[in-house]
Structure 1
Amino acid sequence: MFGAIQLGLFAACVVLFVPMGMAGWHLSRNKMLFFSGALFITLAVGVHLTPYFPSVSDFVTSVSSIVVLDDRDSCFSSLHEIDWEVSASSNYDPLNNNSVNYDKSWYWRRSSSVDSCEFQKLNRHDVADLLNGSWVMVAGDSQARFFALSLLSLVLDSEQMESARQSLFRRHSNYHIVVNEIGMKLDFIWAPYTSNLTDLVMGLSETRNYPDVLVMGSGLWDMLHITNASDYGVSLQLLRRSITSLLPISPEFSTEGSATSSVSVRSTHLFWLDLPTLINSMLNTEEKREKMTDVMRVSYERELKKSQILQQFGGPFQQLDIGSLSWDCGIRCTDDGMHYDGAVYDAAVHILLNALLIVSHQKL
């Protein structure tokens, strides 16, 4: 970012090194001192007068904005650079070989791009500060339930978590909680089909009451019960049009304006829960193994990209790539080939939280 400090440093370097260079060409000391003084005065006047010349000021501002956006885009693209450590637990039971036999941990990959973004795993105090007074809505299928549970684990104590787990996992039901200590409200909406998500967006628009953070995801139920990737793609496009025309979308996550952008309301940060890696041999019913194949999953992922609902393809949603996270964690992180251990959703939650930190220019 080019500001007064940077321009001042640049001017100082010019004043220092240009006369030294000129001295190398055997100019007299008086000429060098005269040139140095004139140069310093010119630069000082230029720096102070820059704000009064709109074209110059706009140029400096535009360059500054480009640099900031480039940094943020780079950090957004690095959020999923995560490595896993999966090892046998101390109470490993070879007669009951399931995912609880393994300890899982994750961390952001060490690289220059990731290190410069300063991603961090947030503790309860940090999450409380970040989400203080916020309304978070999570809508979708069972993957969304697991995501909501992982988010709540960062703001609730053990007793509250047990109660939340029992209530949240009531079959095909919605869930609502207010965390009074931080004024945070969370709603889980059971919406297994993309059409359910579109209906939800329409409802939010009618009430003109919008969450601060909206996490959505669909595909598993569609794959199992409809089994038509093309129809899934059409439904995603309808959702995309509804989102971009009806909700006040956060500009950091969208390249398109919304119909309500002129309304004095807080914008909504949108995140999309991608499909998990499906391990066909581990799926627990014959119908799932028959319909939820690798070929079908790839076709659904292709339609997701074609729909341009994701931010990297020009859409409004920042991706939470459960597919890559579950793939990297591996077969020892799931018991049914579809739903993964909490560590996977925990990583997705921290990706979301760090994305919010990038948007808000915060460091905890």
Structure 2
Amino acid sequence: MAGWHLSRNKMLFFSCALFITLAVCVHLTPYFPSVSSMLSSSSSSSSMVNLDSCISLLHQVAFNFQELNNENCSVENTVRSSSDKSWKWIESEPVVQCDFQKLSKSHASDLFNGSWVVVAGDSQARLFVVSLLELLLGESEMEMIRGDLFKRHSDYNILIDEIGMKLDFIWAPYVSNLTDLVLGFEEKKSYPDVFVIGTGLWDMLHINNATDYGVSLKLLRDLVVLLLPVPSDFVNDGAGMNLVSVRSPNFFWLGMPKLINSMLNTDEKRKKMTDVMWQAYTDELYSSKLLQQSGGPLLLLDIHALSNNCGAHCTTDGMHYHGVVYEAAVHVMLNGLLIKSNQKL
């Protein structure tokens, strides 16, 4: 599973060290009663910082506006990422304590080694895939596949032989497309390690009914929950009861961007894709309980927050943003994977 590939040797070393430490603590606790309460407090505090606080701070990102070039804000030109100095996590004390990191190509490759990644959605999802592949492949290899990536309304798949990673992009502009995709996984009993999905823009433009969108999201949530493993703490293998680990996919929802109505390039978009309608669609998303923030299975990759922080000068059409926004979203996902698997570089 992605999230467990990174630093396997470190994990083995940590496991051995933890076993020895626990053994020592078991013998010392009766003589030092305060040790037990101290360890309990420390463990609880660490878990709170890593899982709750840090997840909520993942999108605390600032952009270096001076390095951004408006010519790179069109859909096609977002394949060109800006330099590392173009964005960073803010330096507030809580964010610094979480120790978020921009992963290098090497570390990202280790993380995704042997994994199957599926990204499904509209043009926002395609731009997310572009940034992910830029990190894993580099600019020279991206030049070779750029044309294929931007074939309109088409799927795209690639196998990165070097790390044994399979990546599928599925053109899925409506929630019903995502529903069909999830049903296919369930029927085949074959599930991706990382599953990134997100729709809304096409629905807002062509259907423009937030209530129906919400109903579709609730159905999608019910189906996604079926992909979650049913945990079993013990299994009887005939020689006794043994602990088993359960393979669990990592689910992410790619949120809609900040829509700048005055910059939208058609009258129909300006009429239908308003701030009021965007808010109605967002309200339905949260009430569907699809997101972890509302008790659901998917961790939000908040493109709205990131694009809003970047601002109007990061887009030329009020909808598709400079590649730096999607680059930041990729690293938000990577750090989310590290947090969920309790790993650090």
Q: Same fold (TM over 0.5)?
A: yes
Mapped pair 1:202 → 2:186: no
| Structure 1 counterpart of 2:57 | 78
Shift of the alpha carbon at 1:157?
3.0
Counterpart-to-counterpart distance in 2, 1:334 and 1:65: 44
Counterpart-to-counterpart distance in 2, 1:44 and 1:130: 37
Counterpart-to-counterpart distance in 1, 2:189 and 2:260: 41
Shift of the alpha carbon at 1:97?
11
* Structure 1: 5+ residue stretches without partners: 10-42, 50-55, 251-262
Counterpart-to-counterpart distance in 1, 2:28 and 2:114: 46
Counterpart-to-counterpart distance in 1, 2:98 and 2:215: 36
Say whether the 8 Å CA contact 1:249–1:269 is kept in structure 2.
no
Say whether the 8 Å CA contact 1:249–1:267 is kept in structure 2.
no
Shift of the alpha carbon at 1:245?
2.1
What are the within-5 Å matches in structure 2 for residues 310-329 of structure 1? 310-329=291-310
Residue 344 of structure 1, aligned match among 318, 325, 330: 325
Say whether the 8 Å CA contact 1:279–1:337 is kept in structure 2.
yes
Distance 1:206-1:270 versus aligned 2 partners, 3 A rule: same
| Structure 2 counterpart of 1:359 | 340
Shift of the alpha carbon at 1:288?
0.8
Shift of the alpha carbon at 1:4?
8.6
Across the two proteins, how many residue pairs are aligned to each other? 308
Distance 1:196-1:65 versus aligned 2 partners, 3 A rule: farther
| Structure 2 counterpart of 1:234 | 215
Counterpart-to-counterpart distance in 1, 2:72 and 2:343: 43
Shift of the alpha carbon at 1:48?
9.6
Residue 138 of structure 2, aligned match among 134, 148, 157: 157
What letter matches 1:78 in structure 2?
Answer: L
Residue 119 of structure 2, aligned match among 135, 138, 150: 138
CA RMSD of aligned residues (A): 3.4
Distance 1:232-1:97 versus aligned 2 partners, 3 A rule: closer
Counterpart-to-counterpart distance in 1, 2:332 and 2:28: 44
| Structure 1 counterpart of 2:30 | 46
Distance 1:210-1:264 versus aligned 2 partners, 3 A rule: farther
Counterpart-to-counterpart distance in 1, 2:43 and 2:190: 31
What are the within-5 Å matches in structure 2 for residues 1-364 of structure 1? 44=28, 46=30, 66-72=44-50, 73-87=52-66, 105-248=86-229, 266-364=247-345
What letter matches 2:59 in structure 1?
Answer: H
Distance 1:354-1:298 versus aligned 2 partners, 3 A rule: same
- Report % sequence identity: 56
Counterpart-to-counterpart distance in 1, 2:115 and 2:276: 40
Counterpart-to-counterpart distance in 2, 1:159 and 1:332: 27
Say whether the 8 Å CA contact 1:7–1:47 is kept in structure 2.
no
Distance 1:244-1:88 versus aligned 2 partners, 3 A rule: closer
Counterpart-to-counterpart distance in 2, 1:249 and 1:305: 24
Counterpart-to-counterpart distance in 1, 2:215 and 2:29: 59
Counterpart-to-counterpart distance in 2, 1:98 and 1:152: 18
What letter matches 2:58 in structure 1?
Answer: L
Calculate the TM-score normalised by the size of structure 2.
0.80
Distance 1:82-1:60 versus aligned 2 partners, 3 A rule: same
Distance 1:265-1:8 versus aligned 2 partners, 3 A rule: closer
Say whether the 8 Å CA contact 2:73–2:322 is kept in structure 1.
no
